[in-house]
């Protein structure tokens, strides 16, 4: 990133290609609509581009990067809530056909979506992405102790939501 | 839970456009350097206040530990608020809840000290509402004068960065500037008008500064996103 700040395009391309998939996965978790997630990913890359002068080379890049991504995701969630307020509620809703296994997955995703963002991030980084506690704490910009507490709370909340 | 990232080709297009637009940028100065520079403005306000004081015995007051503690508490709160505001212009370095709580505690302590040490008697006017306002107007003018430079400097520094929480950052900047102004004003005003003068003309401007800065400053410093 320090080289990108000096105008090195190749270094900047390599950086964006590295962080692009990370941001895309982050947005998939935080922005439920796939189309919105793709837009949010692009917006986050654009925000990163506009904020690149604020990166401090002496500090790790992950807290800086994911703070920007989290901010964009929050904006998208806010916009989605506003849009939802304007949507017309239908009188008759078609009966959905739900397969038992799919139902569990849907309930899991709903329960995951209802978790506070910090808890959801902690759980996903540890359980889905396989990061160590130290790596996840660095990415979240918090201490390992606080991250463990978040992950534990997320786990308890999910267990309770799924009735297990 | 993990799926393939959506529309990688769209992302590639964006990456190509961003790389094409990538020119050298001037990195933001480290927070410590910007904070050190910003501190010159409250220091200038303090110097101006000491130079233009209406207190006949400022020198004697500066030898009283209680008076010094009061001014130092206001100044310490101002500097902490300013530091948090400037640091918040870097993504990922926004204040943590404990740091915000400390900011509230410092400001609360400073305001309580100032309130506790203010005289209860009114000597500057006849006790009428008009007299109260008339004797307070110079202080509100001073407050604005001492706050303007640190306020504008902090907002410019924030705008130069990329604050992700613009309302909070602008509120901190406004609070920092008006707390510094309250510290300077405490050295400039003889406070012969009692506690209500202190509350109305020295301390309420701090709350007003926080509110106005959050409302008016936030849209201005948010422009880095567009």
Q: Is B7 on the interface with A (CB under 8 A)?
A: yes
Written as one string, the DSSP assignment of A108-150 is HHHHHHHS-HHHHHHHIIIIIS---HHHHHHHHTS-HHHHHHH
Distance from C-alpha of B180 to C-alpha of B140, rounded to nearest angstrom: 14
Query: Would the CA dihedral through A16, A19, A24, A27 be positive or negative?
Result: negative
Distance from C-alpha of B138 to C-alpha of B177, rounded to nearest angstrom: 18
Domain spans in chain A, listed from the N-terminal domain onward = 1-89, 99-164
Q: Which residues of chain A are modeled with pLDDT < 50?
A: none
Residues of B in contact with A64 (CB under 8 A): 90-92
* pLDDT at res. A70: 92
Domain spans in chain B, listed from the N-terminal domain onward = 30-225
- The H or E element that residue A9 is part of is helix A9-30
What is the 8-class DSSP label of residue B119? -
Could you tell me the fold of the domain covering A99-164?
Arc Repressor Mutant, subunit A (1.10.10)
Closest residue of B to A18, CA-based?
B15
Q: Is B62 helix (H, G, I), strand (E, B) or coil?
A: coil
Interface-testing mutation among B162, B218, B221, with chain A (most A C-beta atoms within 10 A): B162
pTM above 0.90, yes or no: no
* pLDDT at res. A93: 64
* pLDDT at res. B4: 46
In chain A, the N- to C-terminal Cα span, in Å, equals 45
CB atoms under 10 Å from CB of A25, counted, come to 22
Residues of B in contact with A50 (CB under 8 A): 162, 224-225
The two tokens of residue B103 are 């900011």
* pLDDT at res. A98: 59
Q: Average pLDDT for consecutive 10-residue bins of chain B (226 residues)?
A: 52 82 87 95 91 79 87 95 96 94 95 83 67 83 92 94 94 96 88 80 91 92 77
* CB neighbour list of residue B100: distance below 8 Å, 6 or more residues apart: B84
* CB neighbour list of residue B37: distance below 8 Å, 6 or more residues apart: B29
Could you tell me the fold of the domain covering A1-89?
Rna Polymerase Sigma Factor; Chain: A (1.10.1740)
Q: Is B8 on the interface with A (CB under 8 A)?
A: yes
Tokens 């940028």: give the residue: B25
* pLDDT at res. B2: 43
Identity of the residue in B8, B18, B91 whose CB atom sits nearest the CB atom of A68: B91
Identity of the residue in B1, B18, B161 whose CB atom sits nearest the CB atom of A45: B18
Identity of the residue in A37, A54, A141 whose CB atom sits nearest the CB atom of B162: A54
Q: How many CB contacts within 8 angstroms connect chain A with chain B?
A: 111
Which of B168, B165, B169 is CA-nearest to residue B155?
Answer: B169
Helix pair angle (B65-87, B31-51), 10° resolution: 140
Q: B175, B81 in Cβ contact below 8 A?
A: yes
Distance from C-alpha of B68 to C-alpha of A36, rounded to nearest angstrom: 56
Q: B174, B214 in Cβ contact below 8 A?
A: yes
Q: How close is the nearest chain B Cα to the Cα of A146, in Å?
A: 12
């Amino acid at each position: 990133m320090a080289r990108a700040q000096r105008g090195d395009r190749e270094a900047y391309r390599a950086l964006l290609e590295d962080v692009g998939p990370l941001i895309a996965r982050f947005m998939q978790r935080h922005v439920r609509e796939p189309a919105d997630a793709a837009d949010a990913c692009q917006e986050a890359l654009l925000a990163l581009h506009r904020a690149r002068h604020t990166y401090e080379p002496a500090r790790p890049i992950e807290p800086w990067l994911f703070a920007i991504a989290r901010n964009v995701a929050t904006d998208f969630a806010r916009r989605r809530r506003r849009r939802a307020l304007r949507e017309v509620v239908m009188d008759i809703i078609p009966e959905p056909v739900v397969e038992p296994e799919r139902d569990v997955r849907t309930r899991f995703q709903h329960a995951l979506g209802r978790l506070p963002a910090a808890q959801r991030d902690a759980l996903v980084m540890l359980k889905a992405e396989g990061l160590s506690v130290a790596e996840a704490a660095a990415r979240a910009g918090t201490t390992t102790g606080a991250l463990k507490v978040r992950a534990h709370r997320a786990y308890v909340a999910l267990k309770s939501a799924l009735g297990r | 839970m993990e799926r393939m990232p959506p529309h990688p080709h769209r992302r590639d297009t964006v990456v190509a456009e961003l790389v094409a637009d990538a020119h050298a940028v001037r990195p933001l100065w480290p927070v410590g350097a910007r904070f050190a520079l910003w501190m010159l403005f409250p220091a200038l306000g303090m110097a101006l206040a000491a130079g233009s004081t209406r207190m006949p015995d400022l020198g004697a007051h500066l030898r009283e530990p209680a008076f010094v503690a009061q001014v130092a508490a206001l100044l310490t709160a101002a500097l902490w608020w300013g530091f948090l505001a400037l640091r918040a212009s870097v993504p990922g370095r926004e204040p943590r809840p404990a740091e915000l709580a400390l900011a509230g505690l410092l400001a609360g302590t400073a305001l309580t000290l100032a309130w506790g040490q203010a005289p209860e008697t009114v000597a500057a006017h006849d006790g009428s509402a008009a007299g109260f306002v008339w004797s307070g107007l110079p202080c509100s003018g001073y407050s604005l004068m001492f706050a303007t430079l640190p306020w504008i400097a902090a907002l410019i520094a924030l705008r130069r960065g990329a604050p992700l929480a613009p309302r909070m950052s602008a509120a901190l900047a406004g609070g920092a500037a008006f707390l510094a102004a309250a510290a300077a004003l405490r050295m400039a005003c003889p406070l012969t008008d009692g506690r209500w003068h202190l509350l109305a003309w020295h301390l309420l401007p701090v709350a007003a500064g926080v509110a106005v800065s959050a409302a008016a400053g936030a849209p201005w410093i948010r422009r880095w996103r567009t």
